[in-house]
A and B are shown apart, each in its own frame.
Chain A
Amino acid sequence: AFFWLLSLLAASLLWFLWVQLGGPEEEAPLLPLGAAAAVLLQELCRFACFKLLKKADEGLATLSEDGQSPISLRQAAYVSGLSFGIISGLFSITNTLADSAGPGTVGIHGDSPYYFITSAFLTMALVLLHTFWGIIFFDACERRRAWGLGLVVGSHLLTSGLTFLNPWYEATLGPIFILTLCTGLWAFCTAGGSFHNVLKCLSCKQEPEGQVMLYSALQVPPEE
């Protein structure tokens, strides 16, 4: 979350400078540029987060008893993605939520009356997307697959770009949710899941665990 905030800070700084340089009339055209810069900076910070977590992971592994860190990199990827998503979602929606409690009429000036509900759905999609991107991104960095990275950045840019089509909600909500689903499936496969796993999980079968041999100083080990 801290890293996301840093990226947001950097993006805002850039935006501030651009607006100052361009003058107040120039704001609208600069918006796509500002958003794109924000997206790229977020991905950059995600990369920085990856580097930090990788280092911490190695450190924990060297310190631990059996050479394995207590937190796998996949878990770290999930947590990192989730926290990016949460802070991004909070920043997107909290002010809106606070305003929704106050007196007012939605869309009184001719805007869409569905502002709140679509904001809610978009925020949800974004939170999920950040989580999935986190998993995919970390995995791609771990295995040094540049195309994975490129796809994550590309899909983030695409999502952000699609929101520029608001309030044409059919064109934004639909594609964004389809993108969320696809990214989710991709992340699921990346994390090692498969159809098989899902079935096993659903059937709640108890796997025969490896038996632990318990020896006692006074007892004869059971015949195996």
Chain B
Amino acid sequence: MITFMNNSDSEEEPCNERTSLMSAESPPVPSYQDGLQASEAGEAQAHRKRRAGSSRGPNNVTGGETSGLGVPVRESALENEEEELTLKYGAKHVIMLFVPVTLCMIVVVATIKSVRFYTEKNGQLIYTPFSEDTPSVGQRLLNSVLNTIVMISVIIVMTVFLVLLYKYRCYKFIHGWLILSSLMLLFLFTYIYLGEVLKTYNVAMDYPTLFIVIWNFGAVGMICIHWKGPLQLQQAYLIMISALMALVFIKYLPEWSAWVILGAISIYDLMAVLCPKGPLRMLVETAQERNEPIFPALIYSSAMMWTVGMAKPDTAARGPSQQTWDAAEDGRQHLRSPSHAESQMSETRSPAPTRPITSLEELEEEERGVKLGLGDFIFYSVLVGKAAATASGDWNTTLACFVAILIGLCLTLLLLAVFKKALPALPISITFGLIFYFSTDNLVRPFMDTLASHQLYI
């Protein structure tokens, strides 16, 4: 699920917002009022940036912001400006999301292509109990569908469990769960990954060194994700965690099941976020009622809000985006928990309470960017990784899936700017990715192979 981060606090200063927007349009003029105007312009910039993200819910900030502005006459003009700003800064947000998604995919593809461990079949998860080693095609198809059903029902059960926990305010339980999952992900999976990479390149490493490296990596990761840390380090850790999780999925999901699961989960994502009775939507609404951010689930955010004198919790707009991921992730037991760990990260940012308009601290606030659930990262990487692992057309298929996913993400962000509410990020990208995977593997590959063997260029 993706959403724009939004600052709902701006409605508290209607006049200032209005004048900020106005002054921002006129060229900055050095005058004795310069200081004031500059700060206003700065606020306008910050405000614009804040507004650049569409609010998450229809009952959320956008309406609040425009109503907060005390001048009804300017409302339509402001909405226009809002739209323009949304589109302008929307493009920036698209780029801000392209980079991490690309990085995650690159890490996964590089690992798949070089470390053979992740393409060897070594058993299956208990969530996919049916084996695919059956002689007949029909049986295999049936098994993969059954596997998908099992997996999706586990996801649904965990999501509902999470929603219930949240509803009955069992926050400690959730936090503990998240911390445990991120612990496991950061230490155990990293250890396995490092072991396999060292094996592939035949590099010897003694246990003390290994211990120190893993300990440092894991400890810093826990701190960054659950507490405070430099934004880029947090982002890097989130990308690494998503890549690790995606690799686990690629290894342990049997082939046909993986594709069917990808398709099914994008449908589930669509329904869970958009249907009125969907668990994710209920989670969002509960969070909005309580006016608090949904617990920091695994969410990648492209910008951070500095916690300066926060008084009230941040807009609940953030929650929903995480929700889709959370709910989806919950299904996957502890494997998902890392995603929950991720949410911790936003916790540190969530206390973004009201900033007194006059205070300069507001100017320190970084631009709020877009948030994308880590589950989306993981599934994108699973798709591309599977394409890299199993397609016989090798790189062409991988490249085609990569482009398809990015275009899907682009379209989703466009829709986000248009609809201004939390949207599932999986369906469009995964659909494009699947279409391109199967078509490239079966149609384009023979064509390109024939051309390449004769050294023909088209």
Which A residues are within 8 Å of any B CB, using their own CB?
Answer: 1-2, 5, 8-9, 11-13, 15-16, 19, 27, 31, 34-35, 38-39, 42, 60, 63-65, 70, 87-88, 90-92, 94-96, 98, 115, 118-119, 122-123, 126, 159-160, 163-164, 166-167, 214-219
Contacts and interface: CB of A to CB of B under 8 A. Distances in A.
A35 B444 contact: no
Given A96-B452, A216-B29, A5 B403 contact: yes
Give the one of A96, A119, A163 with max B CB within 10 A: A163
Interface string B76-117: 000010011001100000000000000000000000000000
Contact of A115 (B29, B400, B455): B455
Contact of A160 (B33, B436, B457): B457
A216 B31 contact: yes
Nearest to B456: A163
A160 B403 contact: no
Main secondary structure of the interface of B (DSSP, over half): helix
Contact of B452 (A19, A88, A92): A92
B451 interface: yes
Given A63-B87, A216-B31, A217-B31, A163 B444 contact: no
Given A2-B407, A217-B32, A15 B454 contact: no
A64 B32 contact: no
Contacts of B396: 91, 94-95
A65 B443 contact: no
Give the one of A13, A42, A88, A115 with max B CB within 10 A: A13
Contacts of A16: 443, 446-447
Interface in B55-87: 80, 83-84, 87
B452 A95 contact: yes
B457 A95 contact: no
Contacts of A1: 403
Contact of A42 (B439, B448, B458): B458
B33 A164 contact: no
Contacts, number: 111
Given A65-B25, A216-B30, A219-B31, 9 more contacts: A12-B443, A12-B444, A12-B447, A42-B458, A91-B399, A95-B395, A123-B457, A160-B456, A163-B456
Given A9-B444, A12-B443, A63-B84, A167 B455 contact: yes
B440 interface: yes
Interface of B: 25, 29-33, 80, 83-84, 87-88, 393-396, 399-400, 403-404, 407, 436, 439-440, 443-444, 446-448, 450-452, 454-458
Contacts of A166: 454-456
Nearest to B33: A217
A179 to B, nearest CB: 13
A224 to B, nearest CB: 17
Nearest to A92: B457
Contacts of A35: 451, 456, 458
A8 B444 contact: yes
12 contacts: A11-B458, A13-B443, A35-B456, A38-B458, A65-B25, A87-B399, A94-B396, A122-B457, A126-B457, A164-B456, A215-B29, A215-B31
Nearest to B407: A2
Contacts of B440: 9
A177 to B, nearest CB: 13
A42 B439 CA distance: 17
A202 to B, nearest CB: 32
A13 B442 CA distance: 9
Nearest to A129: B457
A119 B456 contact: no
Nearest to A159: B457
A171 B87 CA distance: 49
Nearest to B458: A38
B106 to A, nearest CB: 14
A216 B456 contact: no
A27 B451 CA distance: 11
A5 B87 contact: no
A164 B457 CA distance: 8
Nearest to B436: A5
A94 B31 contact: no
